[in-house]
Amino acid sequence: MEIRIILRGALSGLVAGVLGFIFARIFAEPLISKSVNYEYGRDAVVNALNKAAHRPLAAPDADVFSRDIQSTIGVASGIIAFSVAMGALVAVAYLVLHGRFTPRPSRLAWLIAGLGFLGVYLLPFVKYPANPPAIGHPFTITTRGQLYLALVGCSLFLLGLAAYLAVKLRHKAGGLRAVLIAAVSFLVAYAILIGWMPSLGDLAANVAASGQFGYARAATETPQPIFNILSTPVVFDGKAYAPGQVIYPGFDADVLWKFRWYSVINQLLVWTTIALAFGALLDRFILPRPPRVVPGGQSGAPEPNEQVASAAGQP
């Protein structure tokens, strides 16, 4: 029975991943293309400044996959693989929790998926939001990944503690009051956590690189405008730039805002689809079906799913 429930969770994730890819292809991919073009232009400016200052030029990064592959197969495989994994994870969490709670299976599936959306994506997004290409320095990618995964783990842990606290207090304080106490306790603990974790712009590697061309000291790794910090004019793309003049603008705030907004919607779509599909599959698999009426007014034998529901601890 367990493997069949997990397979239903993975199937729900597959459906969610396909929908997530379609959404990303329509809305997010144009923003990614703009970000990539910005990055190429910025790298050209930095190389021109380094050349004018007689500094070593950075070796160009060779793309392992073309943009066509990245924007189709790459995006599809990433979103679908993530969604299938999250669907299976929701199913595993259901198997762990269904014996401790007695709501309808689909309601428990919705609760687990909602907490998953909060802990895996939305809460970490508050501190370390999603970024398109061109935002984020290559020399901090390992540190950024470690910080994000640590925040995901802490978010899930604090959500688990808040749910445990609400369950423990519901008999003494009542259901609504217990939920409010748990929610306020969680928000206080999470606010302390994200205030304690470092901002990406304050990482030691970013502080050290702040004096280089193309790197400005900021709280984030969002590219700032590039100025001519030399004492002589710099010629780039047929135009001369005086000392102190902006050679290349900072990253477009509208592109950044839209990308992050679409990222939230995409994740909400994925997790909602997982909850909807997995909940429906669970109810169909576990809950007893109405008895079939046979000719003569006699009811048919109960469906086998009644035995499954009893074994699963469902009422």
Looking at the structure, tell me whether residues 125 and 213 fall in a common domain: no
Mean of the per-residue pLDDT values for the chain?
86
**265 within domain boundaries:** yes
Nearest to 271 by CA among 32, 40, 75, 111: 111
- From the CB of residue 200, how many other CB atoms can be counted at a distance below 10 Å? 24
The 8-class DSSP code of residue 58 comes to: P
pLDDT of 309: 45
Cα 197 from Cα 284, distance rounded (Å): 44
Looking at the structure, tell me whether residues 268 and 129 fall in a common domain: yes
Residue 70: is its pLDDT beyond 90? no
pLDDT of 101: 67
Looking at the structure, tell me whether residues 107 and 181 fall in a common domain: no
> To 5 degrees, how large is the angle CA 150–CA 153–CA 157?
140
pLDDT of 264: 97
Looking at the structure, tell me whether residues 125 and 21 fall in a common domain: yes
Report the pLDDT averaged over residues 77-81: 96
pLDDT of 296: 57
Burial of 48: CB neighbours in 10 Å, binned 0-12, 13-18, 19+: buried
- From the CB of residue 54, how many other CB atoms can be counted at a distance below 10 Å? 6
Domain count, the chain: 2
Looking at the structure, tell me whether residues 146 and 34 fall in a common domain: no
Looking at the structure, tell me whether residues 32 and 170 fall in a common domain: no
**314 within domain boundaries:** no
Looking at the structure, tell me whether residues 87 and 123 fall in a common domain: yes
Looking at the structure, tell me whether residues 55 and 196 fall in a common domain: no
Are the C-beta atoms of 135 and 223 separated by less than 8 Å?
A: yes
The rounded percent of the chain whose pLDDT value lies above 90 is: 54
> To 5 degrees, how large is the angle CA 37–CA 38–CA 41?
90
Q: Which domain holds residue 155?
A: 137-221
